[in-house]
Each structure stands twice: as structure tokens, then as C-alpha cells.
Structure 1
Amino acid sequence: MKFYRRLTPIKALSFDLDDTLYSNHPIMRETEQQMLSYFNEHFPQTTKHGNNVGKAFWRKHRAQALMLQPELIDDVTKLRLYSYQLAIKSLGYSTAQSDSKAQAALAHFTLHRSNFSLPKKSYDLLQQLAQHFPLVAITNGNVDFDKLGLRTFFQRIYTPGNGTKRKPHDDMFTQACQHLAIKNQQLLHIGDCGSADILGALQAGCQTVWLNKYNVGKPLSVLPHIELSRLDHLLAFC
């Protein structure tokens, strides 16, 4: 545990999910491979020249979706669905067919995206911390919270969309503090991303813990209050 800033009294904890409570990178890598197989089966024209061509096809329509509806940057599920709709329609399907096939593709993605269990160490840690602090989750992702049993520990789980901006914007941090009836500086946020989690929480006036473990988040541009390599070190605050 490394300290970079002086801590002030903490009344609640907030957690990022992906690459904080579990390693998300291998899950997403497997999910994307499953999606390529799905597309190859249902839309073989997108991958007939190889998977790299197939990936480029779907990425192109994601970029197009963001150009047409830039507000979807704050809702990764709606962005993925709209990307699928645009891509499938470009293959010659009607609007109704594209919508139906895009929904089916999204369901396949959702199935594999949450096809894992919360690690026992994370489960046990949250169980212990919840006895001492109110817990909330603040995530930009779209994992299935109910499948992982996350609502057992968190009073609320905040996700962007419907007017709420993604981290590093302060929307979800402020909403969490308002719900908890605490000042922003009384919330300690734990996450892996130097931008979304650390910069975002600091800009919102919260205290921060940077989990330096999986090496997939954006690098630090500002120092957190604390750096950890293991989440169970948080038990020192109990």
C-alpha cells in the first residue's frame, strides 16, 4: 500500500467493476471471439476474407454509430445495438430485419459478456467491507449485475446513459454521494483506470484508491490518494 495524499475521514466506498473486482480483459477477448464466430455463422459475408476483415467491418459501423449519435458514447449497450443495426442493414436487410437480427446478436453478446463468476476473494472482501461501510458501484461497463450477484453487496450500481455521463465525468460520483447523504470528499472510490476512476473521482472531489494490478486501464495523469496491488489491503480501513 502506497500513500500519495493525506486521507480524510471516509463514510462510504465505491467500486469500479471491470478490472477491479475481476480481470475483465480475458473475458472480453473471449466474448469478442464468440461474436466473430456468431457473425461468421449468421453473416458469413463479413468474415469470408478473414477475421481481421470481419473485425474492421464491425468497428467501422461502431464509428459510424458514434458519428450519427455521439451521445451513445455514454451507453455502451445502446451503442453496440445501434452499431449492429447499422452494420446488418448495410448488408441489404430491411430495417425490421436489421433490428431483429441486431437484438439477437446483442443477446448473444450479453450471454458471453457475463459468462463468469465473481472471484471468491472479491466476494469475501465485499462481504466484509459491507459490514463496515455502505458500498456502491460506479461503472462504465455493461456486465450483468444480477448474474454475478453484485446487488447483494452494493446499495446501488451506477451506470451511464439516459442523460448520465460516463466516467471521468462527475455525474455518477455526485449521484452516489447524494444517495448516501455524504459529502463528496467522504467517498473513497476504488478503480483501475487512471482516467475514468482516479481523475474522474478526484475531479468530483472524492478520495481515490488506484488498483495497480491488471495493467489494462489508462495510466495515471494525477496521483491517487492510495495505490494498491491487492484489494484485500482495503480491510485495513475496517
Structure 2
Amino acid sequence: MLDLTIIKAITLDLDDTLWPVWPAIERAEAALDEWLGRHAPMTAAMFANPTARHDIREQIVRTRPELKHNLSAIRREAIRLALYRSKENPLLAEDAFEVFFAARHEVTLYDDALLALGFLSARYPVVALTNGNADIQRIGLGKYFRAAISAQQFGVGKPDPRIFHAAAGAVDVPAHNVLHVGDDATLDVLGALNVGMQTAWVNRSDHLWAHDASPHETVTNLTELCDLLKAGEAHI
């Protein structure tokens, strides 16, 4: 059970917590493929082969370990390498990546997301905490967040304790006074529990919990979480 009396801030995952990520990624991939088809057809043909696309990405990850948590840089360098291998202009990588990145931010929020963000941000400082490369300003959600911490900017990702402490520190709140909200059992819940945060697991797809340690609350959507917090307010 949540102890509402000690919550002074909320850290909030983005992908698959506020919106489904894979539809956005698939649209971005399609936009990139269409752009490459017009500007770099040999590279487009290479990327049309899933094995070749995977091999290029794996080469970047293997040869550029410093980019491990920087999804944007990995994507950009994979495009650049594909252009080079296809004997097309590697300088096109920047424009090609921007096509992908713009489409990646055309997310469709879950129906409960906006009202929940309004409710939470009116009561607590909210920090975006993501291993992905979504930009809350670019999506248009910046007004709901006091700060944003991403793995690609910070250099490590969830469940590393350092990124959770960084998110708490961004609003000058000790970790034990933070409620972390996210969909991933390992990255979000176990990672946050490990630093002493309270946790709310957003389980939209009825997954089974498979770990010894448990979240303080499990909800199927963010509306349920807001209702729990609202009900608790009456007893504080």
C-alpha cells in the first residue's frame, strides 16, 4: 500500500505509460523508409532487409559502446553506416534521422494520460524518467513536468540507481519521498524499489507479476492511480 503522507514528488515513465510506443516507432520507420526511397534508394533497399538492418544496428552498438544508452545516436549512426555501405552520401544521415525523429514524436496518448498529467502536476512536481529518446517538449507535454531525465542524456538508464537518484535530485526531493510510476516491472518497479522509492506499476495489459518484491500499488491505467491519490487526500 502507498503511504501518501510521504509523497513529495512523482517520477513518471513515458513510453508505454503515457502512450503506446511501438505504433509511433513503426510510423517513424515507415516515414524514414519513404524518405530514403526518394533520396537514397540503395540505402532504402538495404533497410528493407530486416537482417541487414539488424546487423547494421548491432555493428554500431558493438563498435560504439559509448552510445549504449543513446538511442538517437545509435539510429543516426546506423543510417550513416547504411548510406556509406550503399555508396550513397553519408551526409544525408542527419536529414534522414530528423525525418524519423519527427515521426517518432507523433504519439497517440492513452485516453487517461492528459487528465492524469493535469491531476498529478497540480499536486506534485513531476519528473519524466525514460530510457527512450522521447522529448516531452516536442510532444507538447512540457508544461506538466518540472524536469526530464533520459538515459541518453544522463549516460545510464533504468534500473541503474543513479538515474533514479538524479530524477529525485532534479526536484530536490529524497528518493524515499518519491513515487515512481511506470509500466516495466524490472526497469521501473524493481529499479525504483531498489533506491527506496514507492512504486505504482501501470499494468495495462494484464501481465502477471513474476518477482519477489512487489509494487506498492498496481493499476491498469493512470485514472486508477489518480483515484487512489484523490481518495487518500481525504484521509490526510
Scaled by the length of structure 1, the TM-score of the pair is 0.85
Partner in structure 2 of residue 72 of structure 1? 67
Read off the aligned partner of 1:127 and give its amino acid letter: G
CA contact (8 A) 1:46 1:57 kept: no
Within the candidate set 163, 175, 188, 1:197 is matched to 188
Whole-angstrom CA distance in 1 between matches of 2:208 and 2:96: 29
CA distance in 2, matches of 1:50, 1:162: 27
Per-residue deviation, residues 170-192 of structure 1 (Å, max 9, x unmatched): 22211122222222111111111
Helix, strand or coil at the partner of 1:74 = coil
C-alpha distance 118-86 of structure 1, shift in aligned 2 (>3 A): same
The C-alpha deviation readout for 1:169-214, integer Å capped at 9, x for no partner, is 1222111222222221111111111122112212222121111114
SS at match of 2:132: coil
Distance between the aligned counterparts of 1:6 and 1:146, measured in 2?
A: 31
Query: Which residue of the partner structure matches residue 87 of structure 1?
Result: 82
Q: Residues of 2 paired with 1:10 and 1:50: CA distance?
A: 47
Q: Is the 8 A contact 1:137 1:156 kept in 2?
A: yes
- 1:14 maps to what in 2? 11
Whether the aligned pair in 2 keeps the contact of 1:198 and 1:220 (CA below 8 Å) is no
| Secondary structure class of the residue paired with 1:81 | helix
Could you tell me which residue of structure 2 aligns to residue 28 of structure 1? Answer: 25
Q: 1:220 to 1:147 in 2, by over 3 A?
A: farther
Code of the residue aligned with 1:74 in structure 2: it is H
Residue number in structure 1 paired with 2:126:
135
Where does residue 56 of structure 1 map in the other structure?
A: 51
Deviation of 1:39 after TM superposition, in Å, equals 3.1
Task: Identify the residue that residue 203 of structure 2 maps to in structure 1.
Answer: 212
Say which SS state the counterpart of residue 27 (structure 2) adopts: helix
CA distance in 2, matches of 1:76, 1:117: 20
Any idea what SS the aligned residue of 1:161 has? helix
1:117-154 residue CA offsets vs partner (Å, 9 max, x unmatched): 54563112111212211111101112232232221011
SS of 1:188's equivalent in the other structure is: strand
1:24-60 Cα deviation digits (max 9, x unpaired): 2222222222223333333333555893x2x322221
In the alignment, what sits opposite 2:229?
Answer: 237
Q: Work out whether residues 136 and 176 of structure 1, in 8 Å CA contact, stay in contact via their aligned partners in 2.
A: yes
Q: Is residue 190–residue 208 contact of structure 1 (8 Å, CA) maintained in 2? A: yes
1:181–1:8 distance in 2 versus 1, CA, 3 Å: same
Q: Quick check: 1:181 aligned with 2:176?
A: no
CA contact (8 A) 2:132 2:150 kept: yes
Q: CA RMSD of the aligned region, Å?
A: 2.6
The alignment status of 1:104 with 2:104, answered yes or no, reads: no
Distance 1:133 1:7, change over 3 A: closer
Q: TM-score, normalised by structure 2?
A: 0.85
Length, aligned pairs only: 228
1:43 partnered with 2:35:
no
Report the Cα distance in structure 2 between the residues aligned to 1:8 and 1:107, rounded to whole angstroms: 44
